[in-house]
Chain A
């Protein structure tokens, strides 16, 4: 790895690194999935989620880094294919960062395999008239595919420092730090049109790049082919889903939950806490508050730690593996036609699958979609039908124990409902669908370090986000119970809960909690089912209603942030009746057919 600094305008370096009132601001800009977040993480020591698909970063992240003796503000930006013409919402965010007067230096991170495309972006970045450095990342992968780039020649042509790196291995960072001081305005002929930039990029690439036919990436290429062709891709998809079910649904939701719920909490923590409370807390009110029926420990903590945590953890681990392998975007090829009926295109598979991790985050990821109409439909469908990891936990925990048919019924009803609502939305809402054009990332073997860091951070995030809400929910239930409000709620909900849905009266309060967080409500169902108070049909109906609810308060707030209060309320207003009436319909049909799970 060498640093090729050819052109250095006199005083330019001194000017950029002079003592200043605020830290130097460096923006990391580049095409999607070239490794900006890895570079950011290594420079600042702050971890931002790294995955192997375009669109992992949809918002900007800032961090501090020490370069030489100077403190720099580093800004990680969403990936961009273009900065003018037809651009998506996340590309607009990056454009604003680069255009801002605060941005002092632009470091363009590029995939060394795709120099031509990178240079087309360089030509656009040159228009912002900022000092630049070009960092060619993943030179190891480029090498494995027989691609060699003449760095000095490129640096000479562009008159900016060009460095080579392998960011995931930490190679090239000292060169990058050194190059910042020599950042210069690139020399690119003024090319206002995309086609002119394309010709320039093409010619320069031909001059500095050698491609031999030798490729060492045989295994990756075979896997890449197998996962996108229907004949092999669909069996692989089935195998992946089955593995997910075995690892999360059986190992996580049954083995681990049993261990924690019956073992750790059932025989350890809860009896111990009850014993301690009986002995040392004389006030029955406080005793009940901690270890009673709606106790903070016996209900709140047990739900959060014993029932939901094991599934969330196993899910995040498996999910991270799929993310980093580059597999998920390949599903878009299979989904494109179905999604088209719902006013979307195959690209929407990314937010939809991410929703299985967390609907709130996925709502933000809809920024990668092309048109406002597509974003709205995707946000609506995420809120309506995609169960998040925590809720998946309870679904698998309850129905996995009943029967596979019960599980299949739930998913069939929910998917059918999503399809129907999407189909209607595509016809009712104004606006256009964008065309399906998606870049497929290469298949890679996930790096264990990144996988573990990502999983750990997500589990921590779950603990920080969900556990407090579980506890607040428990306190709320306790207070409502003491005030006698639970009986009132149960009475008020009776016509719907016991009448329409055919559920036991106790489910009313759980459905109320489902409004707060649907996984919390589902955890309540889990206990009800565990103690034998729900029949199979009731469990399926209750879970269907709960799955169709808006996921949680955080998701609602995110919808408001992304699309405004009116749209947020409208989505809730549409979804709630759909949830209840679907449940009622399902209950009626199952009873009419005399189904027992």
Chain B
């Protein structure tokens, strides 16, 4: 598990889907897709610069963004790229 995350985290950024419960970070990018996913996430406050913390990873991913609890499927969490201080250190 740690080797996989380390591969991603050479510069400290990785998809939200790769974070463990309780780990947080700052959103650096929301990857766009043709489903309008990025639009919807932006509207819910998942924007570059927003602080996110993973609350739960199964059965779906639940995370806290600012003061909003959001539940998303894995594919969506893959497209949210966060910068995670904990992993860089």
Set of chain B residues within 8 Å of A439, measured between Cβ atoms: 44, 68-71
| Contact call A435/B44, Cβ cutoff below 8 A | no
| Contact call A230/B47, Cβ cutoff below 8 A | no
- Judged by a CB distance under 8 angstroms, whether A517 is at the interface is no
User: Within the assembled complex, what's the spacing in Å between the Cα atoms of A224 and B72?
Assistant: 16
- Judged by a CB distance under 8 angstroms, whether A113 is at the interface is yes
| Contact call B69/A440, Cβ cutoff below 8 A | yes
Which of B41, B48, B69 has the largest count of A CB atoms less than 10 A from its CB? B69
Q: Given known contacts A194-B39, A336-B60, A432-B35, is B44 in contact with A117 (CB within 8 Å)?
A: yes
- Judged by a CB distance under 8 angstroms, whether B6 is at the interface is no
Q: Given known contacts A194-B42, A198-B49, is B70 in contact with A438 (CB within 8 Å)?
A: yes
Q: Given known contacts A117-B68, A332-B71, is B49 in contact with A194 (CB within 8 Å)?
A: no
- Judged by a CB distance under 8 angstroms, whether A82 is at the interface is yes
| Contact call B50/A436, Cβ cutoff below 8 A | no
| Contact call B66/A85, Cβ cutoff below 8 A | no
| Contact call A117/B40, Cβ cutoff below 8 A | no
User: Within the assembled complex, what's the spacing in Å between the Cα atoms of A77 and B34?
Assistant: 28
- Judged by a CB distance under 8 angstroms, whether A466 is at the interface is no
- Contacting residue for B45 out of A116, A145, A228, CB 8 A: A116
User: Within the assembled complex, what's the spacing in Å between the Cα atoms of A259 and B72?
Assistant: 47
Nearest CB on A from B16, distance (A): 12
Size category of the binding interface on chain B: 20 to 34
| Contact call A437/B59, Cβ cutoff below 8 A | no
Q: Given known contacts A435-B35, A440-B62, is B56 in contact with A229 (CB within 8 Å)?
A: yes
Q: Given known contacts A202-B47, A202-B50, is B59 in contact with A435 (CB within 8 Å)?
A: no
Set of chain B residues within 8 Å of A346, measured between Cβ atoms: 60, 71, 73
- Judged by a CB distance under 8 angstroms, whether A81 is at the interface is yes
Set of chain A residues within 8 Å of B76, measured between Cβ atoms: 435-437
Set of chain B residues within 8 Å of A111, measured between Cβ atoms: 67
Binary B-proximity of A187-216 (CB < 8 A = 1, otherwise 0): 000000011001101100000000000000
- Contacting residue for B66 out of A82, A116, A337, A435, CB 8 A: A116
Closest-by-CB residue of B relative to A88 is B40
| Contact call B69/A437, Cβ cutoff below 8 A | no
Nearest CB on B from A47, distance (A): 28
- Judged by a CB distance under 8 angstroms, whether A311 is at the interface is no
| Contact call B72/A81, Cβ cutoff below 8 A | no
Nearest CB on B from A286, distance (A): 60
- Judged by a CB distance under 8 angstroms, whether A255 is at the interface is no
- Judged by a CB distance under 8 angstroms, whether B37 is at the interface is yes
| Contact call A195/B73, Cβ cutoff below 8 A | no
| Contact call A82/B39, Cβ cutoff below 8 A | yes
Q: Given known contacts A435-B75, A436-B73, is B43 in contact with A195 (CB within 8 Å)?
A: no
Closest-by-CB residue of B relative to A121 is B43
Q: Given known contacts A195-B48, A228-B56, is B72 in contact with A436 (CB within 8 Å)?
A: yes
- Contacting residue for A117 out of B35, B45, B71, B73, CB 8 A: B45
Set of chain B residues within 8 Å of A333, measured between Cβ atoms: 56, 59-60, 62, 71
User: Within the assembled complex, what's the spacing in Å between the Cα atoms of A114 and B40?
Assistant: 16
| Contact call A435/B37, Cβ cutoff below 8 A | yes
- Judged by a CB distance under 8 angstroms, whether B55 is at the interface is yes
- Judged by a CB distance under 8 angstroms, whether A222 is at the interface is no
Q: Given known contacts A195-B47, A225-B55, A228-B56, is B36 in contact with A147 (CB within 8 Å)?
A: no
Set of chain B residues within 8 Å of A487, measured between Cβ atoms: none
Set of chain B residues within 8 Å of A334, measured between Cβ atoms: 59
- Contacting residue for A114 out of B55, B58, B67, B71, CB 8 A: B67
User: Within the assembled complex, what's the spacing in Å between the Cα atoms of A237 and B39?
Assistant: 33
Q: Given known contacts A85-B39, A435-B37, is B71 in contact with A120 (CB within 8 Å)?
A: no
Closest-by-CB residue of B relative to A231 is B58
User: Within the assembled complex, what's the spacing in Å between the Cα atoms of A114 and B45?
Assistant: 9
Nearest CB on B from A452, distance (A): 28
Closest-by-CB residue of B relative to A371 is B35
| Contact call B35/A85, Cβ cutoff below 8 A | no
- Judged by a CB distance under 8 angstroms, whether A86 is at the interface is yes
- Judged by a CB distance under 8 angstroms, whether A417 is at the interface is no
| Contact call B73/A145, Cβ cutoff below 8 A | no
| Contact call B67/A120, Cβ cutoff below 8 A | no
Binary B-proximity of A80-102 (CB < 8 A = 1, otherwise 0): 01100110000000000000000
Set of chain B residues within 8 Å of A555, measured between Cβ atoms: none
- Judged by a CB distance under 8 angstroms, whether A345 is at the interface is yes
- Contacting residue for A230 out of B37, B58, B73, CB 8 A: B58
Closest-by-CB residue of B relative to A340 is B73
Residues of A near any B CB (own CB < 8 A): 81-82, 85-86, 111, 113-114, 116-117, 120-121, 145, 147, 194-195, 198-199, 201-202, 224-225, 228-230, 332-334, 336-337, 340, 345-346, 432, 434-440, 442
Beyond the given pairs A82-B43, A114-B66, 18 more chain A to chain B contacts, judged by CB atoms under 8 angstroms and listed by A's residue number, are A81-B40, A81-B44, A82-B39, A85-B42, A114-B45, A114-B68, A121-B43, A194-B43, A198-B49, A230-B58, A333-B59, A336-B59, A337-B59, A340-B73, A346-B71, A436-B73, A437-B73, A440-B69
Offer 28 A-B interface pairs, CB within 8 angstroms, sorted by A. Answer: A81-B43, A85-B42, A111-B67, A113-B67, A114-B66, A114-B67, A116-B50, A117-B45, A117-B66, A121-B43, A194-B39, A194-B43, A195-B48, A199-B48, A201-B47, A202-B47, A334-B59, A336-B59, A336-B71, A345-B73, A346-B60, A432-B35, A435-B75, A436-B76, A437-B41, A437-B44, A439-B70, A440-B71
